[in-house]
Structure 1
Amino acid sequence: MVLGSIFSPSLIKVDLESEDKNEVFEELVEVFVANNPHVSRLDLLDAIRAREDKQSTGIMRGIAIPHGQLDSISGVKGVIGISRNGIEYDSLDGEPVHLVFMLFSSCSSCSFHLGVLHRVATLLKDPAFFPSMLEQRSSEGVYSTICKYEDVLLSAFV
């Protein structure tokens, strides 16, 4: 279970208050730093914004996967946010974002980072996953949903 080890309930925020992309970056980085105090808030924001400057990570259908690399992270770590109202994100389809998977990795963990991105993208292909995530009202519920869908995904390959 890869995603279950990256996103714990303490790294999941339901009911985001952010209204735009920069606000959601700030809000989710605050959650991340509260759980990883050794990592610089400014370095995290710089890494996310540098990647976002290349192309929007709002990938369509209400989903964004902002991600960045920095040396102060070991492996791959992440934080999830859910917005009930939607976030203006400059998404590829122009629609507001409701589900944000923010990922950070070390520069030396590139292949693992890509594997995690692939795993998230695979979950998002399941038409029931997105609505199941938005139905959750607690971080524990979101975490359980991720674990459930990841287990189903893994069992399909056994």
Structure 2
Amino acid sequence: MALIKTDHIFLKENFTSQDEVMHFLADQAVSLGLSNDENKVYAKLLEREAEGTTGMMDGFAIPHAKDTTITAADIIIVSLVNPVDWQSLDGSPTDFIIALFIPDSEAGTTHLKLLSSVARLLMHQDVTKGLKAAAIPEEIANLLNSKLAEN
């Protein structure tokens, strides 16, 4: 089964702040059936961000939420028309978000495997360039699913 689903990929979204992105992610987590509590997911995303930025390098961020209201481990991907401030490790604004949603029961296992796999992929320039160049969700899903299958 493919981990990255095309209906979980939202390209060229127009948000002006990290907070707007977090609200969108929480809303989509409920819309896509990953959780039944948008407010709880939003709070968990912010709680994790308060522990330390999930903004990585080169415009990428990997926010994540772990909670009992999340029913299955899943990923939502968002690209932005204009980058937003995310207090990234390299100080650059973020325009590509790969959000992880993990049930509490899988917090130590699935969460860490998924997070490390995604973070490792973002260290490869062919992956980051391919993600940013993608024009349709299928291109992103195909690229990430093939790379995740290699791990």
Fold in common (TM above 0.5): yes
Q: Deviation per CA, 1:57-103, whole angstroms, max 9, x where unpaired? A: 10222111111110022341221111232121121221111211111
Compute the TM-score of the two structures, normalised by the length of structure 1.
Answer: 0.86
RMSD: 1.7
What residue in structure 2 maps to residue 74 of structure 1? 71
CA 13–58 in structure 1, closer or farther in 2 if over 3 Å, else same: same
- Please state which structure has a larger fraction of its residues in helix: 1
What residue in structure 1 maps to residue 128 of structure 2? 130
Q: Unaligned regions of 5+ residues in structure 1, if any?
A: none
Q: 8 Å contact 1:86–1:97 — kept in the other structure?
A: yes
Q: Does 1:90 align with 2:67?
A: no
Q: 8 Å contact 1:11–1:32 — kept in the other structure?
A: no
SS at match of 1:103: strand
Partner amino acid, structure 2, of 1:14:
L
What residue in structure 1 maps to residue 140 of structure 2? 142
Alignment of 1:4-153 (within 5 A): 4-5=2-3, 7-36=4-33, 39-110=36-107, 111-151=109-149, 153=150
- What is the Cα deviation at residue 37 of structure 1? 7.0
Partner amino acid, structure 1, of 2:65:
G
Compute the TM-score of the two structures, normalised by the length of structure 2.
Answer: 0.90
Q: Unaligned regions of 5+ residues in structure 2, if any?
A: none
Query: 4+ runs of 1 displaced by more than 4 Å?
Result: none
Q: Deviation per CA, 1:21-56, whole angstroms, max 9, x where unpaired? A: 101111222222211175211011011001111111
Across the two proteins, how many residue pairs are aligned to each other?
A: 150
CA 138–31 in structure 1, closer or farther in 2 if over 3 Å, else same: farther
